[in-house]
Structure 1
């Protein structure tokens, strides 16, 4: 009760509002709505609150506490600070409006929510009760203006008893009738109206009355109120997720309150320091939260159907995300203006013919590529080999070359969509937990061997191919990237046959490929954005560093959003997840490529996919099977054929000589030799035997997927620079030869050697071996050799059950 009598007694309503009737309500109500709606949106969208409970939570948390701001304002007023612009009076008035509006919405929303009666009837009854209570409070306050008279003995003590007992009677009686907030409104009106007369009818005004309520508040109400609230606070019932949710809601609400209050204060012609004071005094929470929050616990019981509202909110948000992501991805694919995609284009017969021809050519290439991939697979060769060979045949037969022609922009978009498919499958296959727990061996082998091969290939291409030093670095970055399209299927085969499972050979190889690919691709993208530009190097480096940080943060945020949308128990969850992930990753990668900062989009797409895999693999019974199988089908049936056919169509045999072929193969061989030697040397320090070292080395030698995208990208970027364009064309030939040579040879060798060199473990001996299991061999520590006597099935399936199968 004291919470509501106190502000009512201290605010000079009649005097101040007559002169300042616009700014205080705007400040109080505007900032309150900004904070409450921000909390409501965050709670409903990100933490699955029912919309009605989110609204209640927003206005309960947003309500300003007069117990904190009022004493400060009174102290400032006594010292004459801020009185020129009436700041000590503005804040209490704004708090009054803030409290009234917040409590009004809380009351109406809770009365509608926690009832089984009709919505409209309940709302009308609640609003009517508030209006009636306000009238009752005003009438009682008007009567109290004259009782007792100001010339009686003990006038102030009598007035204290009258106003306290009247307010208490109004609040408790309305509470008994089931109208808690109308009682508060009546008490607030009672106090405001009655004190308008008491301020003027005696020399001491209401100072004595205020002092009496101060003592009652500090010595009685505060200890009881906060001790009772603290008594209901049970740490054992609060999880880490509860703390995180509460912290995020408070931070979001306070941020919006601070920003909105400063903006509104700026409109009121206050300087920056006064804006900050006004905003900070509207941020503390205490009394109202302690009075109202416990009542929610009792009101919420018996209404489990409120949780159903979260599904509707999640479905609406998911639908909006899908449409937005599809819009962005389609706009970027078509190269249209983002804000005005329907801008008029000159439509001619030639343009229409080119469009129809392009669609028809792509369709024929897709069908032919699928047949070529199937035929190559039937010959025990990688499917990409057949598609690449088909592209080379088309490029070097005049009739086919003249027929299969489409615009360069279309080819670029095909390659970027295919790269997006690679990145999505790569992210879904990445076991972040495994990398975190066993990072030493994968990171060491991935980085050291990649850097060593880059140095070797750079020197070899500089002296053998006679390319410039910069282009030699680009050549090395393209030729050293390991292809997951060859290595991963072999790892799946080994896992199915229980080969190398105890030492986690397949998982370690996948982790090594992940580190190798990430390092080489990021360095290539950053270096290309620095070299192929006319801007100052320092500026370009800073911009790239900023975009990389932005890409990482954006990937984390988008991945976290996809944890929430759609819900795991919503209908068509897998379809929504597939659409959202694909559209978002494509739009990020192509959009950043078009603005010439492709590294940020690449990192954002990779992090988003990896984060999705972390959550989606545990929140539903299907795990990632539907998502990974869909993207595997899209890669095998669409992306892979078109990507490698487009790469093969860049290989012009008429400009090729045997000298160039042998020189390119020599450069490739030097890099592969250095990679093999480094892998063998590094793995000597780990607990992997010689045969397993050979398998690890062979798995890092195939080249295919990234060469198919990065080499044409380099040619496209080097085209405006004549000195570099010639070297880029030579690097393209070397990349194609590396795919033709390494993909089929090392695919056959890897499957053959792996089946011979890796030990097959028998699950029958699982109990005996599990006693000796130790993860220390991952970091090269010594372990007992007896643990490798047989394969414990349960341990090998600890993480490998889904890591490899995601590809």
Structure 2
């Protein structure tokens, strides 16, 4: 199979399966993911090797697009409103699931504690690839606007991965016999988050200055190209410096909306168009990274461990929003939104095996099974029950002042 034919198969096939699943009343991205899984199952042996080399870049680019869209849609007033619950959601669900999974892997699977920690925090990361576009879709349709539930989840989920990946790296070093300073590693978490936000602020203010100064001389398409190029560079620098680069990307979008609203609306409009292409690439490639035969190796024991971990995660989510001024329906929606796993598990599932960690093949099997089980489950629950659990606020129901603001905003976009 040639690379050109495979790319066509991904794009056209992803679009068709997305349309088919939409007609069936299911999330379109579920169809794209299942297409990727089917391609991997039947044609993995004939994929050109170059696809695995360029796949990480394509997935990273798609995540950059969706996180920029998220940042460009979050105002300071909204972020202030969801403050404490969003902060709690950024680490409590991850830690509650991670340490409970660590106990389960040690007791049920017989892993040593350090290896159990590697497996546990690999599985404990929520998927921004699934959660972020789902929340943006609900925001655009007016669901959960009263208490800004989608924004609260967007802010919390974007930091969840930072905690999971940092603790995963700590245990990976311990399990590999490296001399790891626990205190230094734990301190890395706030440094990673703070550094990512700081870099995002720097990039954001630079782009604000440049766009405001040259607004009439630069077309919206050129602004979008410059923003994407800068965001890609930001992610690369963040990876080198071990910073929360994707959080920095989201911060860049937030600053643009706050300080250069006219340019932000132009950028959001173009990124919405780019997402049509990026969404197909992201979810089909995530599906292609799944090897069903590997997932089956985890068996019923793996499914049990993953399911019990999700219960611990759900308890952490409920605790995080327990004292927030939201309804119980909205609390259960938050639980559903924190279930899907895909991005980190697909990107890092094979890392323990490559590092020579004991039970590396089993850990990879658990990671693949987590994607196969939780990604479709989370997608269906979010897309199907979100409109039922969240209050909708349609444009027709706006107050006169809100309607006036929206008309002004629409005029700016045009």
The answer (yes or no) to whether the contact 1:698–1:749 under 8 Å persists in 2 is: no
Q: 4+ residue stretches of structure 1 with deviation over 6 A? A: 545-548, 759-764, 795-799
Paired with 1:384 and 1:601, the residues of 2 have a C-alpha distance of 25
> Bigger CA drift: 424-433 or 379-388?
424-433
* Alignment TM-score, normalising by the size of structure 1: 0.44
- State the partner residue of 1:435: 79
Paired with 2:57 and 2:49, the residues of 1 have a C-alpha distance of 12
1:421 aligns with 2:92: no
In structure 2, the residue corresponding to 1:565 is in which secondary structure? helix
* Alignment TM-score, normalising by the size of structure 2: 0.79
1:698 aligns with 2:344: no
Q: Which structure has the greater CA radius of gyration? A: 1
In structure 2, the residue corresponding to 1:566 is in which secondary structure? helix
1:517 aligns with 2:155: no
In structure 2, the residue corresponding to 1:375 is in which secondary structure? helix
Paired with 2:314 and 2:404, the residues of 1 have a C-alpha distance of 29
| 1:268-326 deviations in Å (ceiling 9; x for gaps) | xxxxxxxxxxxxxxxxxxxxxxxxxxxxxxxxxxxxxxxxxxxxxxxxxxxxxxxxxxx
Deviation at 1:393, TM superposition (A): 1.6
Name stretches of at least 5 consecutive residues in structure 2 with no aligned partner.
Answer: none
Name stretches of at least 5 consecutive residues in structure 1 with no aligned partner.
Answer: 1-355, 765-790
> Bigger CA drift: 388-397 or 481-490?
481-490
- State the partner residue of 2:381: 746
Paired with 2:126 and 2:215, the residues of 1 have a C-alpha distance of 38
Deviation at 1:742, TM superposition (A): 1.7
Residues 519-534 of structure 1 aligned to structure 2 (within 5 Å): 519-525=160-166, 527-528=168-169, 531=172
The answer (yes or no) to whether the contact 1:486–1:747 under 8 Å persists in 2 is: no
1:631 aligns with 2:266: no
| 1:676-710 deviations in Å (ceiling 9; x for gaps) | 34444554434333333333333333x15xx2344
1:645 aligns with 2:281: no
Match of 2:343 among 675, 685, 708: 708
1:406 aligns with 2:49: yes
Deviation at 1:524, TM superposition (A): 0.5
The answer (yes or no) to whether the contact 1:474–1:524 under 8 Å persists in 2 is: no
Alpha-carbon spacing, 1:792–1:390, altered in 2? closer, same or farther (3 Å): same
Deviation at 1:643, TM superposition (A): 2.9
Match of 1:575 among 221, 230, 237: 221
- State the partner residue of 1:537: 180
| 1:513-560 deviations in Å (ceiling 9; x for gaps) | 322331333540474278358874349749957776654443322211
1:383 aligns with 2:383: no
Residues 200-599 of structure 1 aligned to structure 2 (within 5 Å): 357-397=2-42, 400-407=43-50, 408-483=52-127, 487=131, 500-501=144-145, 504-505=146-147, 507-525=148-166, 527-528=168-169, 531=172, 536-538=179-181, 541=185, 551-567=196-212, 569-593=215-239, 595=240, 597-599=241-243
- The CA RMSD measured in Å over matched residues stands at 3.9
Alpha-carbon spacing, 1:580–1:687, altered in 2? closer, same or farther (3 Å): same
Deviation at 1:661, TM superposition (A): 4.2
The answer (yes or no) to whether the contact 2:122–2:349 under 8 Å persists in 1 is: no
| 1:336-370 deviations in Å (ceiling 9; x for gaps) | xxxxxxxxxxxxxxxxxxxx944553343333223
Deviation at 1:394, TM superposition (A): 1.9
Residues 44-63 of structure 1 aligned to structure 2 (within 5 Å): none
The answer (yes or no) to whether the contact 1:442–1:508 under 8 Å persists in 2 is: no
Paired with 1:600 and 1:677, the residues of 2 have a C-alpha distance of 26
- State the partner residue of 1:730: 365
Deviation at 1:482, TM superposition (A): 4.1
The answer (yes or no) to whether the contact 1:387–1:641 under 8 Å persists in 2 is: yes
In structure 2, the residue corresponding to 1:687 is in which secondary structure? coil
In structure 1, the residue corresponding to 2:211 is in which secondary structure? coil
The answer (yes or no) to whether the contact 2:115–2:172 under 8 Å persists in 1 is: no
In structure 2, the residue corresponding to 1:723 is in which secondary structure? coil
Alpha-carbon spacing, 1:490–1:541, altered in 2? closer, same or farther (3 Å): closer
Paired with 1:550 and 1:440, the residues of 2 have a C-alpha distance of 21
| 1:380-423 deviations in Å (ceiling 9; x for gaps) | 222222222122222222xx233322234223323333333343
| 1:157-195 deviations in Å (ceiling 9; x for gaps) | xxxxxxxxxxxxxxxxxxxxxxxxxxxxxxxxxxxxxxx
Deviation at 1:563, TM superposition (A): 0.8
1:616 aligns with 2:245: no
Deviation at 1:583, TM superposition (A): 0.6
Paired with 2:143 and 2:195, the residues of 1 have a C-alpha distance of 41
Paired with 1:761 and 1:586, the residues of 2 have a C-alpha distance of 35
Alpha-carbon spacing, 1:492–1:663, altered in 2? closer, same or farther (3 Å): same
Alpha-carbon spacing, 1:527–1:569, altered in 2? closer, same or farther (3 Å): same
Structure with more relative contact order (C-alpha pairs < 8 Å, separation 6 or more): 2
Alpha-carbon spacing, 1:717–1:578, altered in 2? closer, same or farther (3 Å): farther
Deviation at 1:580, TM superposition (A): 1.6
Q: Number of aligned pairs?
A: 403
In structure 2, the residue corresponding to 1:537 is in which secondary structure? coil
Deviation at 1:579, TM superposition (A): 1.2
| 1:414-450 deviations in Å (ceiling 9; x for gaps) | 3333333343333333334422354123223443333
Paired with 1:447 and 1:576, the residues of 2 have a C-alpha distance of 37
